[in-house]
Chain A
Amino acid sequence: MLDDLRDLYQEVIFDHNRNPRNFRKMEDADRQIDGFNPLCGDRLTLFIKLDDGKIVDASFQGQGCAISTASASLMTDIIKGQSEQEAQQLFALFHKMATGEQVDMDDLGKLAVLAGVCEYPARVKCATLPWHTLDALLKGVEEPVTTE
């Protein structure tokens, strides 16, 4: 009965929701920041460690829906080893995908499993919250980020 929801809720998303990767507090983080979606109450704290302009470690904690948890889990995995600039480019690409713009899915790698959200306007912010939070963190913002 819920089969047609599978384009949004792919098995990978359930998997990341059940076992989020990098879900831990980072005691020795170089930067950390809170992200908040006031509409639904989702919140997360994002931690990163930088070395010479490279993201050498990334982790998160918080409470969110399956979409935002999976998105944070996938994001923290994929940005590890990237330069700040690469991560920001990926954010721009991800944002395009989530809002339904044409992008080359190959450039998105594993993140493509979240492409389905563009069909669910109320859920786009769930997927993009971790990325907006990362973007602010890389820009050196310290106040909590909100999606509103």
Chain B
Amino acid sequence: MNKAVENIRPYDVDSIRQDFPVLHQQVHGKPLVYLDNAATSQKPKAVIDSLVHYYQNDNANIHRGVHTLSERATLSYENSRKKVQCFLNAASEKEIVFTRGATEAINLIANAYAQTLKANDEVLITAMEHHSNIVPWQMLCEKTGAILKVAPINDQGELILDQFEALISKKTKFAAISHMSNALGTINPIKQLIDLLHQHDIPVLIDGAQAIPHIAVDVQALGCDFYVFSGHKLYAPTGIGALYGKLELLEKMAPYQGGGDMISVVTFDKTVYSKVPYKFEAGTPNIAGTIGLGAALDYVNSIGLDAIAAHEDSLLAYATEQAKRIDKLRIIGTAKQKGAILSFVLDGIHPHDIGTMMDHQGIAVRAGHHCAMPVMDFFAVPATARASFAMYNTHQEVDVLMAGIENLIEMFG
């Protein structure tokens, strides 16, 4: 469909909601309002059906059998790789490695780089990273004697660019940066950061776990060396995600795990590894999940990521405006460039109490540190409550959220 036609089709959130069976239920006697999408998104029927179809018709191991079922399973699995390639606009499908999710993809790279770093080399991250983009680098530093450098953020939750730049030196050997923060919603200017790092020949990994359902990603235009994401935040099943890596880098890297599927010849003297991406996919993978990821990408494409993003931006703008009317409410994370995440605290009311009281009204929000304890420390809060929006949320649900907050403030007295 060309752009002009797409633009005149109105965004039909009601019909989108019909595609998500889980949304149509009551929780504690109230209609479910699911606002924990940054933790994981719900799955459309098309994705659920793809899993059932695979298990009912095509279930077999891949890349092994010459029989029909195995060929079908292999074809569907490899088709999903092509779909991910298109979704990220990677140059080749060989650049797409399936992993369990963003976390495993980051660990894969951290392990591969363990062999190239030396004592006193530096790895640069930012102060807004998810634990999964902190801990693997800490482990790498422990192993190699390299040093972890953390670029600071300001009170709005934005990266301080000149301080980021000041941390770059000859010692910097790798950088890992989130595209969008799960705790604050901040969207980082990654193109600018990648260009800057590349001027110093520093390879960079972008953690796209939060960005992927909201922002169209073009890895060739960005020029990043690695981009990782999890399927489950993009309407796909849990346990499947992907690593994009530039071909020449993937080819140079040593394998991550050993086993079946990642070899071409094994003798007891020597093993020859498969080519990329198979070199990094040891063992029987999550075949059904990979097929489900392909179905999720088809579904997202059928609605259009730009249309989804516009809808979510409008939800966030509305929610932010409504939240400002509540005196006791303070928004944590007020970056100019922000994705559909509203993290907040209420004066005198702990987020854990907010979580329970919201749940009682059928509203699912996250309360906690969001796997970003350093961010909580920076804002001097123990935790926040977080409402995060997806393609199927409505403005009316924002009203329910705000009324829910008012109710619990009243109860607390």
Contacts and interface: CB of A to CB of B under 8 A. Distances in A.
Contacts of A66: 349-350, 353, 412
Interface size class of A (residues with CB under 8 A): 20 to 34
Interface stretch (B88-96, B224-232, B270-278, B355-363): B355-363
Contacts of B44: none
Interface string B321-359: 000000000000000000000000000111111011100
A40 B369 contact: yes
B368 A5 contact: no
A64 B352 CA distance: 8
A4 B360 contact: yes
Contacts of B353: 9, 65-67
A39 B368 contact: yes
B379 to A, nearest CB: 12
Interface in A109-146: 120, 122-123, 126
A97 B134 CA distance: 39
Nearest to B28: A4
A42 B360 contact: no
Given A63-B382, A120-B356, A122-B356, A2 B369 contact: no
B35 interface: no
Contacts of B369: 40-41
A5 B382 CA distance: 24
B368 A123 contact: no
B10 interface: no
A41 B383 contact: yes
B8 interface: no
Given A64-B350, A67-B353, A41 B376 contact: yes
A50 interface: no
Contacts of B28: 4
Interface centre among A14, A40, A122 (most CB of B within 10 A): A40
B167 interface: no
Given A65-B352, A66-B350, A5 B383 contact: no
B18 interface: no
Contacts of B408: 2
Nearest to A43: B382
Interface of B: 28, 348-353, 355-357, 360-361, 367-369, 373, 376, 382-383, 407-408, 411-413
6 contacts: A5-B360, A40-B369, A41-B382, A43-B382, A63-B350, A66-B350
- By Cβ-Cβ distance, the 8 closest A-B pairs, closest first, are A65-B350, A65-B352, A41-B382, A41-B383, A63-B382, A41-B369, A40-B352, A65-B353
